[in-house]
Amino acid sequence: MAKQKHPIYRLHKIKVHHNRWLIWAIAYVLFVAIALIGYIKVSDEAQSSQVAEQTFVSWHTYENPKLGFSLRYPASWAVEADEVSAIFAPESGQGIEVSVYKPNAERTIRKPLNVISESPVMVDGVKATGIVNDLGGGRVEGVVLAKTDRHIYVIRGSKSDINKILLTFNLIPIED
């Protein structure tokens, strides 16, 4: 009967794949690449938030509990408000208008619009619709419809101004 060797003596005969160092090198490169991409994404987000903070330094806060929203606007803009809307007007240019309607008024709001395109946007965590409205004569305006359970918020103005304002727009509890 042949004598069986203990398993520990057979360990030196385990075959090692001839490309093991190549496999380890590829794994290392993939790990470094994923870490680098993650770092770049985080850095870009941090950079954009710093730019946003620097852009809004000379802005004022407007809060209207009766209309249920607050936002920040440039210090040089004038504000006019009534029971259903607030207008934020620069010294020159279009400015922004924020109006509040009952939820069943959406069809009435959309009727006079000449919609070029629609896209989904977020307004303070609420799904909203961004509309590009044709004013005629080659002019367009941005319109955002943010619908909550109790109201529709309509934000109108130039697309660039709306994009800046939406970064600071907050829905707040409405005072009755």
User: Do 50 and 113 sit in the same domain of this protein?
Assistant: no
Assessment of whether the complete model's pTM goes beyond 0.85: no
Residues 6+ apart with CB under 8 A from 175: 65, 66
Q: How far apart are CA 106 and CA 131, in angstroms?
A: 13
* Residue 40 domain flag: yes
CATH at 125: 3.40.1000.10
User: Do 27 and 83 sit in the same domain of this protein?
Assistant: no
User: Do 27 and 62 sit in the same domain of this protein?
Assistant: no
By the 8 A CB rule, do 133 and 140 touch?
A: yes
pLDDT tens readout for residues 52-98: 655 555 889 999 999 899 999 988 899 999 988 999 998 887 889 99
CA 79 to chain centre: 25
User: Do 49 and 79 sit in the same domain of this protein?
Assistant: no
Q: Which structural domain range is residue 139 located in?
A: 58-171
* Residue 38 domain flag: yes
How far is CA 55 from each of CA 43, 63, 102, 163, rounded to the nearest angstrom? 18, 20, 34, 13
User: Do 120 and 153 sit in the same domain of this protein?
Assistant: yes
* Residue 165 domain flag: yes
